[in-house]
Amino acid sequence: PRVAAFAHKVTREPWGLDGTAKIDIRRQKDLADCFAGQKDTDCPKGDPEKEIYKVISPAEQEQSDLTYAITIIQPGKVGDEYHMTRGHFHKRADAGELYFGLSGSGVILMQDRLGSVTKEDIAEGAVVYIPPGLAHRTVNTGQGELVFLAAYSPQAGHDYESIVRRGFSKRVVERDGRAELVDA
Ligand code: PAN
Ligand code: ZN
């Protein structure tokens, strides 16, 4: 075969990968342009250093057709908006993705190039397919960490700029103690 097989083990408490893994932490200050609320109600002063999520991926990215990453989104909100990922389109228009829910619960927002949004629930045991051409952002609406594994092509590429420019047209916020999808 052109590329070597690999087999890794996902560990819990804390979530991680055995062997050498790369960990990227996204803090509130890294996502300042994402959340509508500037004030953090979890933390009265607003804590720019607060971890919102982290992404754990294998250190060695093989030149393979498939790879994966594990995302752990901490529970909580910034203002009334639940913790979420930055969100992106794939640069390649033919690159979809599969998400496998490992723990917790939340929603995946998917947005097309015209700004039309649909959503799917994600929770432990869920398998969600994200079709090519849709931007995706994951939101933790649960009480605990939301953890999922994403399987995708390393050639997919991540386009964050389009989201920085236009944002998502829907937000997931807390209203009367419940998660609700509202216009951005
Ligand atoms: C996921 C995401 C991960 C973090 O692995 O990259 O959940 O979200 P952002 O990349 O938007 O910060 C994925 O969709 N990969 O393609
Ligand atoms: Zn993706």
Would you call 95 helix, strand, or coil by DSSP?
coil
| 138 DSSP β-pair partners | 108
Low-confidence winner among 37-41, 56-60, 75-79, 171-175 (lowest mean pLDDT):
37-41
* Ion ligand 2, residue ranges at CB < 5 A: 97
Q: What percent of the chain has pLDDT over 70?
A: 93
Q: What's the pLDDT score for residue 27? A: 97
Phi, psi for 46 (deg, rounded to 5): 80, 120
- Ligand 1 lining (C-beta closer than 6 Å): 55, 69, 71, 85-88, 97, 136, 138, 150, 152, 156, 158
Cα(44)–Cα(86) distance, rounded to whole angstroms?
A: 23
pLDDT tier at 62 (50, 70, 90 boundaries)? low
The stretch 162-167 carries a mean pLDDT of 95
Task: Give the ligand at the shortest distance from the Cα of 72.
Answer: 1
* Cα 176 to ligand 2 centroid, rounded to whole Å: 31
22's tokens: 């790369």
Sign of CA dihedral 162, 26, 146, 61: positive
Cα(61)–Cα(73) distance, rounded to whole angstroms?
A: 23
Q: What is the pTM of this model?
A: 0.95
Query: Parallel, antiparallel, or unpaired for β 135-140 and 51-58?
Result: unpaired
